Structure 1
Amino acid sequence: MASNRSMNHLRIGTAGWSIPKQYLDVPPQGTHLNRYSQIFNCAEINSSFYRSHRLSTWAKWADSVPEDFQFSVKAPKAITHDAKLACEPAQLQIFLAEANTLAQRLGPILFQLPPSSAFNPAVAKAFFARLRDLHQGAIVFEPRHSTWFVSEADYLLNSFSISRVAADPAHVPAAAQAAGWSQLIYCRLHGSPHTYYSAYPESYLRSLAAAIVAHKTRETWCVFDNTASGAAFGDAQILQRLLSAA
């Protein structure tokens, strides 16, 4: 873990910070977040997708983790799914004000689009421009409709310094590869073949570790979202161990 924490470009963690019962070797004292943050150096906040949180809650999260820990934050479904990016400016402003309460512990803002949300160049450009007026930090997009995986969309993402998620399983083959702004690689690993449940075989994690080492000059996040069975925690630990030995 010391090696992992010294690699400032690399962050490994899970969606949320639950610690499954089968992992008894974690630090025994403190809240789940306190204990989790002694093992991993990032977590993805998914609850923000479903509901707003008090500013005091965001501040409490930030105060519960070490200085080198960061959170990525998933944008509300009201923006990505209901409004399909054509949201009211106030919706975006309120969400960003909440997320920015994390201060220096705020990492990328994640926008996951529904599979039905096709690439609309005019809507996307307007949203990206509004978003960049309000937020200069890291932004990652996880589109799932095939129309997003074209050169026009990639060019638009890159022009606003927005990275496209590398996802597994990939809804289309190109979704497995990161694109857009190349200085941030954000991998979301949902579990395969049973999404949200399946653990990854070590052979897959070894291949992932090799790919990360090959791009070691870029900031890289690997977030395991196969949390339904508790597999994410173990997979993240294995990847961490593989990279520490690399």
Structure 2
Amino acid sequence: MTRIEEKKLRPIRIGCAGWSLSSKVAALFEGQGSHLERYARVFDAVEINTSFYRPHQPKTYARWAASVPDAFRFAVKMPKTISHELRLRDADDALERFMEEAGALGDKLGCLLLQLPPSLTFDKASAETFFASLRRLTALRVVCEPRHATWFTEEATETLTKARIAAVLADPPPIAGAEPAGDPKTLYVRLHGSPEIYYSAYDEGFIETLATRALDARNAGVDVWCIFDNTARGAAVPNALALTEALKVSTNG
């Protein structure tokens, strides 16, 4: 691949689930401003998880959007009202409210994340109805993180792909030895920490393997997001920085 061809490729977006900067890493994010402003000088993406638990006013999303560079993108997690309480059924009103809120991010809204509860089995009719409602509201990139084995089937893959919804590649995987599949145009990796979910840091070997997979996907024309969710003990930021460095080494090497 020539350097001219490389320039046309989309960036591999790297970030964390949230932009909180602990005292251990604060020195790596220089300058004045809020945590988000400082975070966005280093990373080009972040995943908003708080939207899963409570709504945010449009003016809050607009303020966040104004705090970051033009190239920065937000992924926003859909409310648990939609995924865990309504379980994708009769969710039109909740979807509309969420899109009105998150839509205030404007062009900086890069992705919507739908995380399903482990107990939610795949039902083709309800899934198709929900995805159709979602697609009437937005053409944005959408990724789904299923956690029940019935979503890891050809029928579920076909349903997701038809709705242009990618399947999250999660670590640790919810179903051992299996990867869900959906729209192949997006690779969205959620790194929860393994073996201790939300706590464990990833070692150098894992980061190098992830960098290789991300580069291979990006070079094949796939949009790549790598989000570290191992935030409980502060491992997410160092791991995201390590992946950024590994990608630089691989690209320049």
- The percent identity for this pair of structures is 44
Q: Which residue number corresponds to residue 53 of structure 2?
A: 50
Question: Using the alignment, how far apart are the partners of 2:79 and 2:110 within structure 1?
Answer: 16
Are 2:225 and 1:221 aligned? yes
Amino acid at match of 2:47: E
Amino acid at match of 2:100: A
Q: Which residue number corresponds to residue 98 of structure 1?
A: 101
1:80 to 79, 83, 86: 83
Q: Which residue number corresponds to residue 155 of structure 1?
A: 158
- Cα deviation, 1:152-208, whole Å, max 9, x if unaligned, reads 000110001100000000111355x46200011100000001100100011001000
* Secondary structure in 2 matching 1:92: helix
Q: Which residue number corresponds to residue 14 of structure 1?
A: 16
* Secondary structure in 2 matching 1:119: coil
* Secondary structure in 1 matching 2:112: strand
How far does residue 54 in structure 1 lie from its aligned partner after superposition?
Answer: 1.1
Q: Which residue number corresponds to residue 116 of structure 1?
A: 119
Contact 1:9 1:218 in 2 (8 A): no
Q: Which residue number corresponds to residue 196 of structure 1?
A: 198
Contact 2:157 2:180 in 1 (8 A): no
Once the two structures are overlaid, the 10-residue window that deviates more, 212-221 or 75-84, is 212-221
Which runs of no fewer than 5 residues in structure 1 stay unpaired? none
How far does residue 214 in structure 1 lie from its aligned partner after superposition?
Answer: 1.2
Residue pairs, 1:28-43, within 5 angstroms: 28-43=31-46
Amino acid at match of 2:23: K
Change (3 A) 1:40 1:157: same
Contact 2:58 2:103 in 1 (8 A): no
How far does residue 25 in structure 1 lie from its aligned partner after superposition?
Answer: 2.1
- Cα deviation, 1:5-59, whole Å, max 9, x if unaligned, reads 9963310000010112111221131100000000100000001001111111000
Question: Using the alignment, how far apart are the partners of 1:141 and 1:230 within structure 2?
Answer: 25
Contact 1:75 1:111 in 2 (8 A): yes
The ranges of structure 1 where at least 4 consecutive aligned residues each deviate by more than 2 angstroms after the TM superposition are: 5-9
Contact 1:178 1:185 in 2 (8 A): no
Question: Using the alignment, how far apart are the partners of 1:145 and 1:14 within structure 2?
Answer: 24
Contact 2:91 2:130 in 1 (8 A): no
Are 2:174 and 1:171 aligned? yes
Which runs of no fewer than 5 residues in structure 2 stay unpaired? 1-6
* Secondary structure in 2 matching 1:13: strand
TM-score, reference length from structure 2: 0.92
Q: CA RMSD in A?
A: 1.6
Question: Using the alignment, how far apart are the partners of 1:25 and 1:16 within structure 2?
Answer: 16
* Secondary structure in 2 matching 1:173: coil
How far does residue 136 in structure 1 lie from its aligned partner after superposition?
Answer: 0.8
